[in-house]
Amino acid sequence: MVDTKSPDGLVQGAFKLVGSITVAALLAAARTRKREVTQEPSTMAPVPDAVLTTRAARRLNRAAGTLAASVLFDSAVEHYRGGFKNKAMYTPIVTSAMALAVSAHGTADRRQVPHRLRDGVYTTTALVGLVGTIFHIRNLLKRPGRFTWQNLFYGAPLGAPAAIGLSGLLGYLSERIRDTPEGELPTIWTIPAGRVVGVSTALGIMGTASEAWLLHFRGSFHNQLMYLPVTMPPLASTAVTVVALGQTCTARPLTRWCLRATALLGVSGTMFHIIGVGRDMDGWRNWQQNLLNGPPIPAPPAFTGLALAGLAALSFLEDHPDD
């Protein structure tokens, strides 16, 4: 019996819930993998299948949308806390909302043709992420001491604009995959598309994990669960890199497990951040202050979006082998 009236009881209940979800997810993953291995010889297409290509693109649209949603709400909270001192601070909110909208459209679009509007929005989003990263670096350089721990802890976060840029990049890659002539192996910049998506995803996961490490280090890792975002995602990033650059499929079951665990980490991390806000002074009764100063609730889903992109890359490599 869990005492939900006390913070400790609430945390214990959350631990049990996350544990149950984790076990269920791992069992489902094992059953899914067994079916995939059993069916693989009979479903392998001799030539690239247009349906599989479009499905991979739609999965990337979904990943880009999940990442855009995380950035949308996170940047809205952070820039509201900054009082929108610079009018350019509205830009990531607008562009991430547009990226979210076109990602939803792309997820539902079953046509194997790129869409000009989606393509334009994704490209703009990627450029906004690049420019935003430059602005945030300049913000740190203007502070006394420049790249000091204090400034890295409380200055403009470098990972936030990079995340919106990554959302645009994933969407851009999805449109390039759709632009593949039927019967041909999808490529991006003459490189097999699955490998490009895999490496891009691995770099994004590692960057997001670095941002999580910085903020959790600021919090002195006072909860042992704070080590999860800096251990599991780097493991998934390494596994994706090995699969994307390698010529063997022996590491793919482990990679799929790591990515699914990372996706689950994004969901459970959001729940724990909600609990963290509730444990601040006056809890949710003082939500206007605690939302701004407590653990960022919209941040963990970035792991989910990147894990979905990694799973899309993994399925792509299996459906369109190039070795």
Whether residue 252 is contained in a domain is answered as yes
Whether residue 247 is contained in a domain is answered as yes
Share of the chain above pLDDT 90, in %: 46
Q: What is the pLDDT of residue 83?
A: 85
Identify the H or E element spanning 310: helix 301-319
Whether residue 23 is contained in a domain is answered as yes
Q: Is the pLDDT confidence value at 315 over 50?
A: yes
Output b/e per residue, 109-124; b: 16+ Cβ within 10 A: beebebbeebbebbeb
**What is the distance of C-alpha 223 from the center of its chain?**
23
Q: What is the pLDDT of residue 37?
A: 44
Q: What is the pLDDT of residue 64?
A: 95
Backbone angles phi and psi of 322, in degrees to 5: -120, 10
Q: d(Cα 71, Cα 99) in Å, to the nearest integer?
A: 10
Q: What is the pLDDT of residue 168?
A: 95
pTM over 0.85: no
Q: Lowest-confidence range among 23-32, 47-56, 150-159?
A: 23-32
Q: What is the pLDDT of residue 126?
A: 95
Could you tell me the two tokens for 220?
Answer: 């002195």
Q: What is the pLDDT of residue 4?
A: 43
> For 87-148, where are the alpha helices, taking DSSP H only?
91-108, 116-142
Whether residue 2 is contained in a domain is answered as no
Q: d(Cα 143, Cα 136) in Å, to the nearest integer?
A: 11
Contact 122, 102 (CB under 8 A): yes
Return mean pLDDT, the chain: 83
Q: d(Cα 314, Cα 295) in Å, to the nearest integer?
A: 32
What total number of domains does the chain contain? 1
Residues sharing a CB contact under 8 Å with residue 317, sequence separation 6 or more, in sequence order: 194, 195, 198, 243, 244, 249, 252
**Strands, E assignment, the chain:** 187-188, 191-192
Q: What is the pLDDT of residue 11?
A: 45
pLDDT digits (tens, 9 = 90+) for 237-288: 999 999 988 755 556 888 999 999 999 999 999 999 999 888 888 888 888 7
312 pLDDT band, cuts 50/70/90, is very high
Q: What is the pLDDT of residue 122?
A: 96
Of residues 46 and 231, the one with the higher pLDDT is 231
Q: Domain of 143?
A: 7-319
Q: Is 11 exposed, middle or buried (0-12, 13-18, 19+ CB in 10 A)?
A: middle
Q: What is the CA radius of gyration of the chain?
A: 20
pLDDT digits (tens, 9 = 90+) for 112-156: 888 999 999 999 999 999 999 999 898 888 888 888 888 888 888
Could you tell me the two tokens for 91?
Answer: 């830009």
pLDDT digits (tens, 9 = 90+) for 60-103: 999 999 999 999 999 998 888 888 888 888 999 999 999 999 99
Output b/e per residue, 280-291; b: 16+ Cβ within 10 A: beeeeeeeeebb
Whether residue 233 is contained in a domain is answered as yes
Amino acid at 19: G
